[in-house]
């Protein structure tokens, strides 16, 4: 009996792939840090029963329509806005993601980004390396306190709640805005619900953790930044397109907010000449929210196990759609 074909869009460790190779013919793009070209992805989809893409790989109509044998697309990431889920559903293709296994790791990075931005850690490290440290002075590279401040979390899912737990360790007042109220976060974490506009106005740190949807695209626009305190720090560890980057740039340059920490951008990889990257009050990272060895391996394994389940006729572990 011919084994089904699986295409993986980056080179993954052989020990992770081995259980999949036992039941399928597995082909991997032979690069860890170079994206597979779209024309190659379309060609590989033509004979694939399963695809295992990264969150940066666009799986749209062209790829899905090429996959006549395609049964499952197992995204390596909690977000799946890179996949045309309605088109997959119409074709009976299961789409899966990797939730939960990256919650704490992404929350760690989010809070680290908040701390680094507030305390100007990257700027200070470069200041020392460049030989600019000549003397101690009262306000040399002075940043902002984090403890006892107010954090406003936009997107109170699992990662948002994990960030709130970390914020409570710093004795922060936790506000949140979400599409629906989160009674468990209110009861367990003392989080207080605020309408979006009120949260912006009251928070010292505004942390974006909302998924990218048609409703949240450009949610953080010129009006949103103008509602924030001039001393506010904005953190985005969600998706770049939730932010109007030109509006953020202008808010930072004109002193409408104090600083920003960004792990994501609308177009990735980001150009080093991007206006936001050049600003001294911006800490910019290359989308490393879940980037620890332990968590990335767990994500790979969950994506793999979703594929194995579907190919063996069992329900997927973490589906995001329900094709009929």
52 shares its domain with 147: no
Confidence of residue 33 (pLDDT cuts 50, 70, 90): confident
107 and 90 within one domain: no
Model confidence over 267-322: pLDDT tens digits?
999 999 999 999 999 999 999 999 999 999 999 999 999 999 999 999 999 999 99
Q: Which of 25, 123, 268, 297 is catalytic?
A: 268
Specify whether the CB–CB gap between 77 and 312 falls below 8 A: no
Q: Are residues 108 and 211 in the same domain?
A: yes
| Within a domain: 16 | yes
Examine the domain organization and report whether 164 and 272 are in the same domain.
yes
- What torsion do the CA atoms of 219, 262, 174, 294 make, to the nearest 10 degrees? 120
pLDDT for residue 151: 98
In this structure, is residue 212 part of a structural domain?
Answer: yes
What local confidence, expressed as pLDDT, does residue 218 receive? 98
Given the residues 166, 227, 287, 296, select the one marked as catalytic.
287
The answer on 81 and 203 residing in a single domain is: no
Query: Torsion angle, CA of 100/94/30/263, rounded to 10 degrees?
Result: -40
pTM given for the model: 0.94
pLDDT for residue 324: 77
Question: How far lies 188's CA from each of 99, 171, 179, 298, in Å?
Answer: 21, 15, 19, 27
Alpha-carbon distance of 186 to 207, in angstroms, equals 17
Confidence of residue 154 (pLDDT cuts 50, 70, 90): very high
Task: Clarify whether 239 is annotated catalytic.
Answer: yes
Question: Please, how many CA atoms are within 13 Å of residue 246, restricted to the half-sphere of its CB?
Answer: 0
Torsion of CA 46, 47, 52, 53, to 10 degrees: -20
Residue-level pLDDT at 127: 96
What CATH number is given to the structural domain containing 148? 3.40.50.720
* Known catalytic residue at 268: yes
62-79 pLDDT, tens digit each: 999 999 999 999 999 999
Which residue is catalytic, options 120, 227, 239, 296?
239
Contact 247, 266 (CB under 8 A): no
What is the pLDDT of the chain when averaged over all its residues? 97
pLDDT tens per residue across span 166-216: 999 999 999 999 999 999 999 999 999 999 999 999 999 999 999 999 999
Domain count, the chain: 2
Query: Residue 144 pLDDT more than 90?
Result: yes
pLDDT of residue 142: 97
Domain that holds residue 154: 103-284
């Amino acid at each position: 009996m011919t084994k089904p074909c699986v295409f993986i869009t980056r080179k993954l460790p052989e020990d992770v792939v081995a259980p999949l190779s036992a039941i399928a013919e597995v082909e991997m793009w032979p690069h860890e840090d170079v994206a597979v070209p779209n024309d190659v992805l379309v060609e590989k989809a033509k004979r694939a029963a399963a695809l295992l893409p990264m969150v940066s790989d666009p799986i749209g109509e062209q790829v899905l329509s090429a996959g006549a044998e395609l049964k499952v697309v197992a995204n390596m990431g909690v977000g799946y806005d890179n996949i045309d889920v309605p088109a997959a559903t119409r074709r009976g293709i299961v789409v899966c993601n990797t939730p939960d296994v990256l919650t704490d790791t992404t929350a760690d990075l989010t809070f680290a980004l908040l701390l680094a931005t507030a305390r100007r850690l990257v700027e200070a490290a470069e200041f020392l390396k460049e030989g600019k440290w000549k003397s101690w002075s009262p306000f040399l590279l002075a940043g902002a306190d984090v403890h006892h401040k107010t954090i406003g979390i936009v997107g109170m899912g699992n990662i948002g709640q994990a960030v709130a737990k970390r914020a409570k360790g710093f004795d922060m007042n936790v506000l949140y805005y979400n599409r629906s109220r989160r009674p468990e976060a209110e009861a367990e974490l003392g989080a207080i619900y605020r309408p979006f506009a009120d949260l912006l106005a009251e928070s010292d740190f505004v942390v974006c953790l909302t998924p990218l949807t048609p409703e949240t695209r450009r949610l953080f626009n010129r009006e949103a930044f103008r509602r924030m305190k001039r001393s506010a720090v904005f953190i985005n560890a969600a998706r770049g397109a939730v932010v109007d980057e030109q509006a953020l740039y202008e808010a930072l340059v004109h002193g409408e907010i104090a600083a920003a920490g960004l792990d994501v951008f609308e177009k990735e990889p980001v150009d080093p000449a991007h206006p936001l990257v050049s600003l001294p009050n911006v800490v910019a990272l290359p989308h490393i929210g879940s980037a620890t060895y332990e968590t990335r391996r767990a994500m790979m394994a969950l994506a793999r196990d979703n594929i194995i389940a579907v190919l063996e006729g069992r329900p997927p572990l973490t589906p995001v759609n329900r094709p009929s």
